Amino acid sequence: MRLALIQCPVWGTYDPPVGLAQLSGCLKKAGCAVSVFDLNIKLYRNRSENYKNIWAWEQSSFWYDQECVDKFFVQNKALVDKYLKEITDTGPRVAGFSVNAASRLASLKIAGMIKQIDKNITVVFGGPLFFEEKSVNHILEEGAVDVVIRQEGEFVFTDLARLIDRGMDIASCPGIYFKDGARIIHTGPREPIADLDTLPFMDFTDLPLADYDDTRHVPFMASRGCIQRCVFCSSRAFWSGYRAMSGERVFKEIESLKKRLGKANPELAHVDFLDLMFNGNMKHLVTFCDLLIKSGLKIFWTANMIIRPEMSPEVIKKMADSGCEHVIFGIESGSQRVLDLMRKAYRVEDADRIIRSMHESGITVTANFMFGFPGEREEDFQETLDFIKRNHAYLSRVYPSRTYCAIEEFSYLSGHLEEFDIKSNPPNHLYWESVDGKNTYPERLKRCEEFCNLASSLGVEVGSGVQTSVELDRWFNLGAYYECKGDFQKAVECFLKYRQLDPRNEAILNKIMRYSGQKQSKEKERIGV
C-alpha cells in the first residue's frame, strides 16, 4: 500500500510539518509505504521575487484570495508540474493532505491536479480546517476530495488505509466523512487518543530538514490541549481537555531522534517544543529534565510555557541543567485587570519572579504581548510599559503581536462580542472596533509602536515579522484596514508606501491597479463623464 502525504502552502517555513511526520510514523508502523512531500517549503525555497513575502504570516491573506492563488499557480506552472510528477511517480493509492484555513485553496488546487493525472487515487483531507462540520460539506462538494477526517488523524488514517488496501467498505471506519452519490456519509465519531504515549515515533525521512529556516533543530509536540481558558484563544475548541506524553516517553523519542537524525546532521542539537505549554503537567516536566540530566545527552531545548506558581527556583535550575536554553511566555499584558479580563490564570508578581529566576539560571526569556484587548484602558497599557521597564534586564526578547489583538475564530471572544463591547459583524478578525469607537486597529497599532520604541530604547530585542519587516507589515495591514472600511483612497496610499519597500509584490500591485481604477470610475461618475 503506497501513500503520499502532502503539505501545501501556506504553512510555516521554520519547522517541518510535525503532523505529517507523526502520520508517517503511524502509517509506516502499520506496514504502509509512505512518501512525504512538503510542497510548501519547496515552493517557498524556489519562489520568485514578486512572491517573496507572501509566506509571511502577516501577509497570509494572499492565500485566502482565489484570484491570487489561481494566478500564483499559473505563473509557477512548470515548478508545480515538476512536484506533481514527483508525487504521482511514487504510485500512491491514497494522497493525504494536512489542511488549515490558509492552505485550503492551494490544497484543493493540488488535489484537483492529482485527480486529473489519476482519478483512481483516493484523496483524503484532514486537519484544523475541519473543526466545523460545514467545512467538511464544502470540501466534499468541491469534487476533488474523496474522504475527510475531522478528528485526530493518526489512527483513523491508518485504519482507512487498511480498508482501502483490502478493497473493503470504508463505511466501517469511524471518524471519516465521504460522499456516496449526492449524500455525505459520516461514519460516527472516533474517541480522542487517550494515551499519547501509544503514538509511534515521528518519521522525518522524506522531509528536507536542510531547507527549513533553522537546520539545527527538530520540532516536537508532547501534548495536546491546554489547562487554561484564555478567552482570546481558539485552541480549547480544537483540543478538548489536556493530554500529555509522559516525561519518559518524551525522553525516549528525543534520544531516538538524536541518534537517527544526528548522523546526517551533526549540528542537530536543538529541540523546539511546539506545545501550547510544555509545563502543563509539572510532574512530566521534572521527570523529563531528570532523565536528560542523568543520561548526559547533549540536547538544548526551547519551549512555550505558562506562568504558574509551581515554577520554583529549584525546578527552573533543573530545567537549565537539562539543557533548556530558551522559554517563551505569553505575558500579553502587565495589567492584572486586563489579565483577569483575558482569564489568564496568573498573577503579575509571579511573572516578575519567574522571569528573574529564569535569567539567574541562564535561561533566556521571550515575552509575548498583545495590545488593545477589549476593555484595555490607557492606564492598563501604561502598566504593560511599566512591566517592561522593571523587567527589561531579565528579558532577551519581546514579541509584540503583529495582529495586536485578533479575534480568533472559535474562541470564546469570537462568540461573545457583545459581552466585550465589540461592534457586531466585524469585517474580519483583525479590524474589529469597540462599541464606543475608541479601540480601533490604528489605535492598537499605535500602542504596539509605542511599546516597541520603549523596549528598543531599553536594549531589549524586539521581534518582527516572520519574513518581512515591521514597516512592510504596517503599510500592508493599514492598507487592508482601509480597504475593509471602503476608503480606497487611503488604502491605495498605504499600498503605494508598501510598494516603495517591496516594488515587485504581485498582490499589492493588483490591489493598487484595482482600487486606482475604482477611484477613477467614481470621479468620472461624479463629474458626469
Average pLDDT over residues 288-298: 95
The CATH superfamily label for domain 2-186 reads Response regulator (3.40.50.2300)
Fold: same for 2-186 and 214-468: no
Distance, CA of 2 to CA of 140 (rounded, Å):
23
Distance, CA of 136 to CA of 140 (rounded, Å):
6
- Give me the pLDDT at residue 75, please: 94
Cell readout for 329 is: 511566555
**pLDDT tens readout for residues 107-147:** 999 999 999 999 999 999 999 888 878 889 999 998 899 99
* Res 525 pLDDT > 60: no
* Res 264 pLDDT > 80: no
Average pLDDT over residues 168-175: 95
pLDDT bracket for residue 516 (50, 70, 90): confident
pLDDT bracket for residue 505 (50, 70, 90): confident
**pLDDT top residue among 237 and 333:** 333
Which range (56-70, 87-101, 102-116, 247-261) has the least confidence?
Answer: 56-70
Mean pLDDT of the chain: 92
Average pLDDT over residues 256-264: 80
**Predicted structure pTM score:** 0.89
Average pLDDT over residues 494-504: 92
**pLDDT tens readout for residues 356-394:** 999 999 999 999 999 999 999 999 999 999 999 999 999
Average pLDDT over residues 419-423: 97
- Give me the pLDDT at residue 98, please: 96
What is the DSSP-derived secondary structure letter of residue 462? Answer: E
- Give me the pLDDT at residue 132, please: 79
Which range (69-83, 305-319, 459-473) has the least confidence?
Answer: 459-473
Average pLDDT over residues 70-89: 96
The domain locations on the chain are 2-186, 214-468, 479-529
Q: Cis before residue 435, ω within 30 degrees of 0? A: no
Distances in Å between the Cα of 273 and the Cα atoms of 258, 425, 509 are 15, 36, 39
* Bridge partner list, 330: 368
* Res 520 pLDDT > 60: no
Which range (282-296, 316-330, 478-492) has the least confidence?
Answer: 478-492
With beta carbons less than 8 A apart as the criterion, state whether 107 and 20 touch: no
- Give me the pLDDT at residue 391, please: 98
Element (H, E) at 124: strand 122-126
**pLDDT tens readout for residues 324-345:** 999 999 999 999 999 999 999 9
Tell how far CA 277 is from the center of its chain: 15
The CATH label, of 3.20.20.70, 3.30.70.1450, 3.40.140.10, 1.10.3720.10, for the domain at 214-468 is: 3.20.20.70
